[in-house]
Amino acid sequence: MNRIDKHPVLEVKTGREAAFVFDGMNLTGIENEPVSSALFANGIKKFSIHTKDDAPQGIFCANGQCSQCTVIIDGMPLKSCVTPLKEGMDIRTLHHIPELPHDDDAQFDQNIEELKTDALVIGGGPSGLTSALELANLGLRVVIVEDKDRLGGKLLLQTHKFFGSQEDSYAGTRGYEIAEILEKEIREKNNVTVLYESSVVGIFKDKKAGVYKNNGKYSLIDFEGLVVSSGAREKSLVFPGNDLPGVYGAGAFQTLVNRDLVKSSDKVFIVGSGNVGLIAAYHALQAGIGAVGIIDIMDKVSGYKVHADKIKRMGVPIHLKTTVLAAYGHGKLEKVTVAQVDEKWNPILSTAKTYQTDTLLIAAGLTPVDEFYDQAVDFGFKAVKTGDADEIAEASSAMFGGRIAGLKMAKMLGKDIEIDPAFYEKADILKSKPGKVFNEENIELKSEFIPILKCIEEIPCNPCTTVCPKNCISLEGELKNILDIPKYTVDACINCGLCVAVCPGLAVSLARKIDDNTAEVILPHEYILDFVPGDTIELTDIDGNFLEKAEVLHIRLVKKYRTHLVTVKMSVKNAAKAIGIRMQDRSVTEPFHETIHTYLPDDAIVCRCERVNVKEVVDFIKEFRVRDVNQLKQIRVGMGACGSKTCSVLLPGIFRQAGVDFSEVSRGTVRPVEVEVPMNALIDGEK
């Protein structure tokens, strides 16, 4: 079984086993985990065979937003990523188009439950939970509809400590722990009802929402106000092989590895150097999965520098001005070829390199899931949207934005309140892009320990300043807020190590001079320990460059932050530079000696559901002078099961490739928002 049985941060729990059958094979999984996770744990990554060209398909989003993971479960075509595993399930690969199931015993005596609430919150992620808490604190009745069995949304996928403000967004606390804190607060509110494993499947003009409750029964919710906090969906990229099983979103990877503790991969390669891509590499290494590298077509990392630095220190290279040429494999991903790009973003084929990998993670951005908000506005409802459904940003920003959204909704519902202008200022700070980068300071070591801070880029973060019992660390700079740079300003360090343990970027060390040649350094470590006192380990600087080998003196776990503090003995000349312990052997990141040079961008899939490639779309646009996206439906673009959610964001680039300015193109008619619901749930309220 491909299970994670040891993790440096997460507590590995085992649930009750459930036996099931897949294509005639007797297998086991964990009861109530997603079927897709159970299949991955058994080494199965191919879920369906497409009707167009018999191409194999696997997961992409693992969040119910696409249809790539559809399989046949007990005779029904269902999305495996949102279907809980049950004992005795008969699961089969979906071959082509599924047959309609026969049911001659359906009953038509409807008995539909109806709930009434002041505010309906769609999505129990970070922004939905903080919105609900604000509404509940003001005495309003709230119903949260959450399609998972736990609250927290993307927080459940995050094993890293959060940036941001400790006071306003739990900075220094790990994402899944924040989810536990917020869920506990929600449970303590007697005016908040949570519908778990439930989905809003439609909203109607009479201010009612249809809900597929507990994955089995259709219900209605009568509401006065709507908070849409339904998150975002993964973006795809266009390159040959982008549809192979093994090519999927970084969020799907985090779901498998961090939420469901499935060792989904042996090696991952990551496209995108934003915080999502950088964090995916960190999560891979924590799970014992090799991280071959990260590429980005831009000339600089788009995420936080402190995130990128810690990844490089662990031994993961970041290749900038580099793009994917193609992914290859027989029925599944096996290799990926990348190349540098010129100033016009064209690949330089002479620089191409091919790497071995079984997983290619796409971290190329997200698209808001805000369709219900748009529909509510059209109906004239009181509605707000928040979190990624409103603006793609960090979860710390989403939590604070959710508070503001909750207060806005309360005002719409008649509460006599005013929103503090400082809230908006804090919200803007928390979603700030990285600012200036400063030079490292030259540090003179002393005989007593002092903190050495390698956080040199303006980002919203302050936990190191709040945990120090002696107030030794302060934020200094021109901005006068949490974007300023931390500095050691009061020489009173007591070597408690809290600043080292709390730092989300693993960017703080403690160091002292023993004699003219020797120093002791205390470093943070959040990976599986594969060394003990007396061993020699490789140390790196802020950019991941090797410094020297050092002897491990002792290791201490700071339980509150689940971070190990590793004390090493090393040279004085490198002590102030040391900030990382190399975790990954260089052989993992080496390319093949021979490169696969095939470059056929025309073969890249645009519409994953209907398997329409670039050449088909471009040729159709040119031949018929297409100036309306709806015309592409003639070749099935946007007509698939995902409702054009994936391909629609790719079309501007495809039109440009066809020589058409997309601003002159009429947008496609938006497909009605739809969530799959079995017919018997609609016609038989008792079944």
**With contact defined as beta carbons under 8 Å apart, do 34 and 264 qualify?**
no
Mean pLDDT of 316-338: 95
pLDDT higher than threshold 80 for residue 475:
yes
Mean pLDDT of 356-380: 95
Residue 657 burial by CB count (10 A; 0-12/13-18/19+): exposed, middle or buried?
Answer: middle
Question: pLDDT over 90 for what percent of the chain?
Answer: 84
Mean pLDDT of 480-505: 96
Mean pLDDT of 653-677: 87
State the Cα–Cα distance between residues 448 and 437, nearest whole angstrom.
Answer: 29
DSSP state of 402: H
Q: Is 587 helix (H, G, I), strand (E, B) or coil?
A: helix
Ranges 420-424, 479-483, 552-556, 659-663: which has the least confidence: 420-424
What pLDDT band is residue 646 in, cutting at 50, 70 and 90? Answer: confident
Mean pLDDT of 207-212: 95
Mean pLDDT of 464-485: 96
The alpha carbon of 354 is separated from its chain's Cα centroid by a whole number of angstroms, namely: 26
CA-to-CA separations, 613 to 283, 327, 522, in angstroms, rounded: 33, 15, 53
Q: What is the pLDDT of residue 676?
A: 74
State the Cα–Cα distance between residues 210 and 258, nearest whole angstrom.
Answer: 31
Helix (H), strand (E) at residue 182: helix 175-187
Mean pLDDT of 630-636: 95
What pLDDT band is residue 671 in, cutting at 50, 70 and 90? Answer: confident
Mean pLDDT of 609-616: 93
pLDDT digits (tens, 9 = 90+) for 571-604: 999 999 999 999 999 999 999 888 876 666 788 8
pLDDT higher than threshold 50 for residue 359:
yes
Mean pLDDT of 226-242: 94
Alpha helices in 290-370 (DSSP H): 305-313
Mean pLDDT of 411-427: 93
Radius of gyration of the CA atoms of the chain, in A: 26
pLDDT digits (tens, 9 = 90+) for 105-114: 655 556 789 9
pLDDT digits (tens, 9 = 90+) for 89-99: 999 999 999 88
pLDDT higher than threshold 80 for residue 681:
no
Rama region for 167: left / alpha / beta (φ>0; ψ in -120 to 50; rest): alpha
Provide CB contacts within 8 A for 446, sequence distance 6+: 512, 513
pLDDT digits (tens, 9 = 90+) for 147-178: 998 999 999 999 999 999 988 889 999 999 99
pTM of the model: 0.91
Mean pLDDT of 48-61: 94
pLDDT higher than threshold 80 for residue 682:
no
Q: What is the pLDDT of residue 685?
A: 46
More confidently predicted of 209 and 669? 209
- What phi and psi values does residue 153 have, to the nearest 5 degrees? 60, -130
Average pLDDT over the chain, rounded to whole?
93
pLDDT higher than threshold 90 for residue 142:
yes
Mean pLDDT of 461-482: 95
